[in-house]
Amino acid sequence: MSDSTLTVERVSLRIGTFALQDISFSLAPGQVYGILGPSGAGKSVLLETIAGFYWPDHGRILIEGRDVTRAAPEARRVGFMFQDYALFPHLTVAQNVKFGLQFRRSRPRPTEHSQVQDLLARLGLEQIAERHPSNLSGGEKQRVALARALAMEPAFFLFDEPLSALDARTRDSLREELRTLLRELGVPAIYVTHDQTEALVLADRLAVIRDGVLLQEGTPSEVFGAPVDEFVARFVGVETIIAGRVLCTHDGVATVQVTPERRIEAVDHGAVRSPSVLVCIRPEDVALNRPPAKDSAGANQFPGRVVGGEPLGPMLKVKLDCGFPLTAFVTKRTYLDLKLAPGAEVVAHIEAAAVHLIGQP
């Protein structure tokens, strides 16, 4: 038995003008693996290839150590959850769940009725067993689709942006419910999304793909905190990206010139080999004060001026001119307390450990 539930080895596939290119990753038992990328990146094609809807031109796909590269979809024991959950509208909740039983592995079982009842109880669906999908909420549909997939005894789940068509409030609620269910069920899953929050909330490991190429893989904190290039940085929410040049490194801290008058210090992890760098600063890592700020002459303390603000739900995005463009996220309370209207004078502070450097050729 392989240590991985799923292994994708150097998979390449061309469909028309689009191509997946040399994709490799693995899914560990009990793990939720997020695949993040923009529309057209190849996320759904990759899922469909894993599910068996396409066969790769090159590479292998192994499920629990078994080579299924050329196996039919029904032979792969994969629970595929689509955006609309694909419930049968003419069947009740119990009948939808029962449908999945025909795909489970053959071995002695109790009665089908008992199996269905066990699954309904496991996902809290007993009280709505006789309803039809048209009479279910979004969360109920999600649980029914999970129960039907569980009836197949899948090796793992594939989720293709199941929350993308929902309004923001419903999406937030169902995202939390799905996270809880996946942790309780313990069934590994691959979750495709273009939404940063979903990736952070749901994924144990994360891959970013663009134009069929896997650009970066790691834990969510690694990918969001240390993007490998400018595209990944912008896609995972880095708002401030400035070209700079490393002047020196001392005691593990690099000093980077970003303008003739401004230098930024960053913790040097040894990954940058070139003096030319991109300086990346996430907006949530910028702290603001009104001058005079304590130790305002210290490292990474930049006097500046507010040039604009934008509401983002409970947060506000504040655009600053600190001799270079800088963006900060603040709460509404902070915005009001500091009177951060355009023209306000501020001091921005960024910890050196929060500054990420990307080496350039």
Instruction: Using only the alpha carbons of the chain, give its radius of gyration.
Output: 24
Q: What is the DSSP letter of 160?
A: E
Do 6-230 and 238-359 come out as alike in CATH topology?
A: no
Q: Which is it for the CA torsion 186, 188, 190, 194, positive or negative?
A: positive
Q: What is the DSSP letter of 312?
A: E
pLDDT along the chain (361 residues), means of 10: 82 96 95 94 95 96 95 89 85 90 63 80 88 89 85 88 77 81 86 90 94 96 94 95 94 93 91 88 95 67 94 92 96 93 95 94 83
**What does the alpha-carbon distance between residue 311 and residue 138 come to, in Å, rounded to a whole number?**
28
Q: CA angle, corner 158, sides to 154 and 160, nearest 5? A: 150
pLDDT of residue 171: 78
pTM: 0.86
pLDDT of residue 268: 87
CATH class of 238-359: mainly beta
C-alpha 26: how far from its chain's center? Answer: 16
Q: What six digits make up the tokens of 321?
A: 């001119």
pLDDT of residue 294: 57
pLDDT of residue 236: 94
Q: What six digits make up the tokens of 305?
A: 């001026």
Is residue 226 classed as helix, strand or coil in its secondary structure? Answer: coil
Kind and range of the H or E element at 143? helix 138-151
Q: What six digits make up the tokens of 316?
A: 């506000």
pLDDT of residue 352: 95
Residue 56: φ, ψ to 5°: -70, 150
- The closest of 358, 31, 295, 344 to 182, measured between CA atoms, is 31
Is residue 138 within 8 A of residue 166, CB to CB? The reply is yes
pLDDT of residue 119: 85
- The closest of 322, 328, 257 to 296, measured between CA atoms, is 322
- The closest of 27, 23, 25, 26 to 14, measured between CA atoms, is 23
Q: What is the DSSP letter of 100?
A: G
CATH class of 6-230: alpha beta
pLDDT of residue 104: 72
Peptide bond into 291 cis (omega under 30): no
Domain ranges of the chain: 6-230, 238-359
Strand ranges (E), the chain: 6-15, 18-27, 32-36, 58-63, 66-67, 78-81, 156-160, 189-193, 205-210, 213-218, 240-250, 253-257, 263-267, 276-281, 287-289, 301-312, 315-321, 325-331, 345-349, 355-359
